Copies of this chain bind each other. A is one copy, B any other.
Amino acid sequence: MSGPTVYDVATAAQVSLATVDRVLNNRGGVSPTAVAKVKAAVAQTGYVRNLAAANLSRRRVYRFSFVVPSGDTGFVALLLNALERERLALLEEQILIQVIPTRAFDVANQVAALRSLNCDAVAVMASEAPEIQEEVTRLRAEGVRVVTLVADLPHSDREAYVGLDNVAAGRTAAEFTGRFIRGSGTVLMIAGSLSSRDHIERLMGFRRVMKERFAHLTLLPAVEGDDDAETVERLVTSATADQPLKGIYAIGAGNRGLVRAVSALDPKPVTIVHELTPTSREGLRDGTIDLVLDQDTSAAVVAAVRIMRNLTEMRDLPVDTGKIRLNIYSRENI
């Protein structure tokens, strides 16, 4: 009923189970003729390996760590939630995940977190600092597979990146900003930090499309909001003191402050932000925010785990893609 097994393959190939196994998992040490016989038998019987049985038998336990900034609001909160939601289901598949919170922007702390690791693979969300890159190479040298999460470390030894194509995200933001704005005017870009790679990439994409397709709009120099509500609020308020704003692209966190500032403006600027949090959702609903560009945190977690599993399993091979789809939310589709 349930398909041919290794045993069937063995009989068909006239060899033993062990030989079949060696061929199937190409462990070597098998005569060419035996290899051929087994391969023929596999083809003939239509054998497909039973994953459940395989996993059970070798009872491997995967130990994966997630090193992410702590935080109980905004995007990281969503990420941590997603992690907790997935935890049990993953446990049933013998995947143990450990979440190691770090302090955002505190490189020493993040390095310490990476140092204390004891796992098969790790997903890191950290600043792009030399110390951290070094830590990554060290981990890799020790045989730990590492993937970056949300913010890439492209010049490190990381083997995969899971997250948005941030340049594309910026381009998309620009496209909608440009198409939503009536007439000409000025646009403000607020990054969280200008030394954070993902933010810089978003800025790049945004600027480029603005220049290519919406040259009638003026871009103010990008400012840093420190991912902090108060700072963001202040920046918006002071920018509007000089001239009216037609558009705002908020690249980082601190949307609570943004919403406060924007709702006080009379011709409301077209406002596009990142990450679908309770705050941005509310902003969408009441019209303060026009569009939310979101990266699905559950999808990110799932993708990261899948890549880490493939990595620790096949030692490398299939280059799994970690691109997370950019979700666009507007008032009508939240």
A-side residues, CB < 8 A to B, are 1-3, 48-56, 59, 61, 88, 91-94, 168-169, 171-172, 174-176, 179-180, 182, 205, 209, 296, 325-328, 330-333
Is the Cβ of B94 less than 8 Å from the Cβ of A50? yes
Interface of A is mostly: helix
A1 cross-chain contacts in B, Cβ below 8 A: 61
Is the Cβ of B209 less than 8 Å from the Cβ of A332? yes
Is the Cβ of B332 less than 8 Å from the Cβ of A171? yes
Is the Cβ of A48 less than 8 Å from the Cβ of B88? yes
Number of copies of this protein chain within its complex: 2
Is the Cβ of B332 less than 8 Å from the Cβ of A92? no
Question: Which residue of B is nearest A175, CB measured?
Answer: B332
Is the Cβ of A172 less than 8 Å from the Cβ of B92? no
Question: Which residue of B is nearest A327, CB measured?
Answer: B325
Is the Cβ of A92 less than 8 Å from the Cβ of B50? yes
A53 cross-chain contacts in B, Cβ below 8 A: 52, 56
A52 cross-chain contacts in B, Cβ below 8 A: 51-56, 93-94
Residue among B61, B172, B205, B327 making CB contact with A330, cutoff 8 Å: B172
A122→B328 CA distance, assembly (Å): 32
A169 cross-chain contacts in B, Cβ below 8 A: 333
A328→B332 CA distance, assembly (Å): 12
A61→B3 CA distance, assembly (Å): 9
Q: A48-B88, A93-B52 are in contact. Are A168 and B333 (CB under 8 A)?
A: yes
A-B contacts, 15 of them at CB < 8 A, read: A2-B59, A2-B61, A48-B92, A50-B92, A50-B94, A52-B52, A52-B53, A52-B55, A52-B94, A169-B333, A175-B330, A179-B179, A209-B332, A296-B325, A328-B328
Question: Which residue of B is nearest A180, CB measured?
Answer: B179
Question: Which residue of B is nearest A49, CB measured?
Answer: B92
Is the Cβ of B48 less than 8 Å from the Cβ of A332? no
Residue among B93, B94, B325, B333 making CB contact with A172, cutoff 8 Å: B333
A48→B49 CA distance, assembly (Å): 25
A183→B321 CA distance, assembly (Å): 43
Least CB distance from A182 to B in Å reads: 7
A296 cross-chain contacts in B, Cβ below 8 A: 325
Is the Cβ of A332 less than 8 Å from the Cβ of B59? no
Question: Which residue of B is nearest A170, CB measured?
Answer: B332
A92 cross-chain contacts in B, Cβ below 8 A: 48-51
A328 cross-chain contacts in B, Cβ below 8 A: 327-328
Least CB distance from A148 to B in Å reads: 21
A197→B242 CA distance, assembly (Å): 52
A326 cross-chain contacts in B, Cβ below 8 A: 333
